[in-house]
């Protein structure tokens, strides 16, 4: 096994004798065999062990075992005691997930502090199979099928090509001692249930099932790389980015093979799931303008000819304007509030407003427009819903969500940045003008 191990780390350029690493060691059989292989390959490393105290005295015995092994081999040992249960309760996650977060955060911190070249983990081939099947059960898609990488960032997994059987044989042949984790025999964890029951049953169905499954995943991994290349080109050609907004035209989806996968790959980093991706493709193929798909922080809006991805806007707290105020800030826009006599040249720029001061009832209020809001736009006789008014102006959904209105005594005086209300205009009877000037 040592020959195969050395050849593997050489071919994959995983480890280098000229650098030093952090080896995460639990004391289990995988860790102890990997430790033996690292020593025999002349790889320099320090050892890190986490004690969560979840198995009472067993956890302490694991720590003592690793400590003695490190001392025997003159290795620098780092130990860390942590309360995974408390973190799990605080974050409302499983103990296993909490323990993983704690471990990896500490490993990365140590790696940085000690100026080491990466974190060596003892995941092996059976772990890889279990991870892939767990990902399939979770519905993680193409990325999940690819499983764990030999190297990803700081994480290095040099044991991935070796099976549990090979590792056990090596341990017995070389007289390597290890600690048994009694929790590995419990079937109340999904991974253990897979390891102890589901996968062995699957292997019984066909003697070459393991080999065929691994081979299939290797080919799927290669297919995933091809898809990623296709996706990056599609994204570069079709998606327009403007600040926090992204725009995807319908024609990039309609009649495009694999459209759902492309859209899902685009939106997944923003928290969207595959069902939403399918819904978005359907909404583009059978245009449903105005439909919105949401995650916690983002929304994908179906506009007239494109999908608009944008951050959700935070709730806008109404702003009050008093009679004597001279300035105003609405989010990132600043305005000057000027009271002026008639006879001044009228400003017709849509980002500014000139209103009849005496028709206004202070304090004024600025708020987001709401469904059902109506006003009579300047120059018109009949009232119009603001939603229809914005549609007529072909205001995009992304911009529509940011529109604010100026309110005087319950009536809309100005759809800010678009048009004032006819009732608030200056006319022949106006004696004083209220000028709201946008400062660029």
The answer to whether the beta carbons of residues 433 and 424 sit under 8 Å apart is no
Joined together, the tokens standing for residue 26 give 């639990």
Residues 6+ apart with CB under 8 A from 353: 406, 413, 414, 416, 420, 434, 435, 436
What separation in angstroms does the CA of 251 have from each of 229, 230, 273, 431? Answer: 20, 17, 22, 54
Joined together, the tokens standing for residue 375 give 């006003």
Q: Hey, is 348 helix, strand or coil? A: coil
Joined together, the tokens standing for residue 39 give 């020593």
Q: Is 29 part of any known ligand binding site?
A: yes
Joined together, the tokens standing for residue 296 give 């916690």
Q: CA-to-CA distance for 166 and 174, rounded, in angstroms?
A: 12
Q: Is 319 part of any known ligand binding site?
A: no
Dihedral sign (CA 138, 187, 157, 161): negative
Joined together, the tokens standing for residue 125 give 């081939």
Residues 6+ apart with CB under 8 A from 130: 191, 194, 195, 199
Q: CA-to-CA distance for 423 and 440, rounded, in angstroms?
A: 28
Nearest of 362, 349, 338, 346 to residue 427 by alpha carbon: 346
Q: Is 41 part of any known ligand binding site?
A: no
Q: CA-to-CA distance for 164 and 27, rounded, in angstroms?
A: 15
Q: Is 26 part of any known ligand binding site?
A: yes
Name residue, tokens 């001279």.
Answer: 326
- The annotated binding site for ATP is made up of 26-31
- The annotated binding site is made up of 26-31
């Amino acid at each position: 096994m040592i020959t195969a191990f050395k050849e593997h780390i050489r071919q994959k350029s995983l480890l280098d004798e000229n650098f030093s690493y952090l080896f995460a060691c639990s004391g289990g059989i995988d860790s102890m065999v990997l430790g033996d292989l690292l020593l025999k390959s002349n790889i320099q490393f320090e050892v890190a062990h986490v004690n969560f105290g979840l198995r009472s005295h067993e956890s302490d015995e694991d720590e003592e075992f690793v400590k003695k092994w490190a001392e025997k081999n003159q290795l620098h040992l780092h130990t860390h005691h942590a309360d995974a249960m408390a973190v799990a309760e605080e974050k409302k996650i499983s103990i296993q997930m909490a323990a993983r977060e704690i471990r990896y955060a500490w490993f990365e911190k140590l790696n940085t502090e000690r100026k080491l070249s990466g974190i060596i983990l003892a995941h092996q081939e059976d772990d890889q199979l279990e991870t892939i099947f767990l990902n399939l059960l979770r519905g993680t898609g193409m990325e999940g099928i690819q499983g764990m990488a030999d190297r990803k960032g700081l994480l290095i997994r040099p044991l991935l090509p070796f099976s549990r059987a090979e590792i056990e044989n090596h341990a017995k042949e070389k007289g390597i001692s290890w600690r048994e984790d009694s929790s590995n025999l419990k079937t109340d964890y999904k991974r253990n249930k897979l390891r102890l029951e589901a996968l062995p049953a699957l292997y019984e169905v066909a003697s070459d099932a393991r080999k065929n499954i691994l081979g299939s995943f290797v080919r799927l991994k290669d297919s995933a790389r091809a898809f990623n290349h296709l996706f990056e080109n599609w994204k570069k050609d079709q998606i327009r980015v403007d600040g926090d907004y992204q725009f995807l035209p319908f024609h990039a989806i309609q009649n495009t093979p694999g459209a759902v996968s492309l859209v899902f790959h685009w939106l997944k980093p923003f928290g969207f799931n595959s069902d939403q991706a399918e819904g978005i493709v359907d909404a583009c193929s059978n245009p449903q303008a105005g439909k919105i798909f949401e995650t916690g922080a983002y929304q994908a809006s179906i506009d007239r000819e494109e999908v608009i991805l944008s951050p959700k806007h935070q709730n806008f707290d109404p702003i009050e304007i008093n009679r004597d105020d001279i300035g105003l800030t609405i989010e990132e826009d600043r305005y000057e509030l000027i009271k002026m006599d008639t006879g001044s040249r009228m400003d017709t720029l849509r980002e500014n407003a000139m209103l009849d001061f005496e028709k206004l009832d202070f304090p004024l209020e600025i708020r987001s427009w709401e469904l059902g809001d109506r006003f009579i736009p300047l120059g018109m006789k009949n009232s119009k819903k603001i939603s229809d008014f914005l549609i007529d102006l072909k205001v995009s959904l992304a911009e529509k969500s940011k529109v604010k209105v100026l309110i005087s005594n319950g009536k809309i005086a100005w759809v800010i940045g678009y048009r004032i209300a006819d009732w608030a205009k200056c006319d022949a009877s106006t004696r004083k003008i209220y000028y709201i000037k946008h400062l660029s």
